[in-house]
Amino acid sequence: MTEWMFPWWGWFIFGFLLLLLELASPGGFYFLFFGVGAISVGILAWLSLVEAAWVQLTIFSIMSVLASILFRKRLLVRFGPKDDDIPVDTLVGEAATVMDNIAAGGFGKVELHGSSWNAKNNGDRALVRGDRCTVQRIDGLSLWVTKEERS
């Protein structure tokens, strides 16, 4: 029975492909550690320190997972997206104008900041065209609105 072997240069190519895949992916730092693990095994195989395929795969797995556990969180803190930079649900509390009649619990269209939005009437009263309503929450591209109370 012949034993399967992965050449040292194969580990390098595999590692660099994983690093390129990391560059193409949206900043989660997942492929980076597997690429580093593959390049590390390539170095060990080049130095003839590991030759058996099962040893190479074991070292690759352990190094990749260990590097991910030790360094991923630090990299995300340093280079990941900052929550303060992204305004979330900035339309909540804004006033919109009803474009279609919307029954209680029904769907229709509202106008907000010059754009037409899909809206769900989250209140217990029907909304009539021209009514003012308040955005309660955002669900995907739909606004959940209720009739604006007049004081």
Residue 119 has pLDDT above 70, yes or no: yes
**What proportion of the chain, given as a percentage, has pLDDT over 90?**
37
| pLDDT digit string, tens, across residues 10-36 | 999 999 999 999 888 876 788 999 999
Domains of the chain: 8-84 (no CATH), 95-147 (2.40.50.140)
Read out DSSP for 109-135? EEEETTEEEEEEE-SSS-B-TT-EEEE
Please report the sign of the dihedral spanned by the C-alpha atoms of residue 60, residue 61, residue 67, residue 73. Answer: positive
What predicted TM-score, i.e. pTM, was given to this entire model? 0.53
Confidence of residue 1 (pLDDT cuts 50, 70, 90): very low
> What confidence score (pLDDT) does residue 100 get?
86
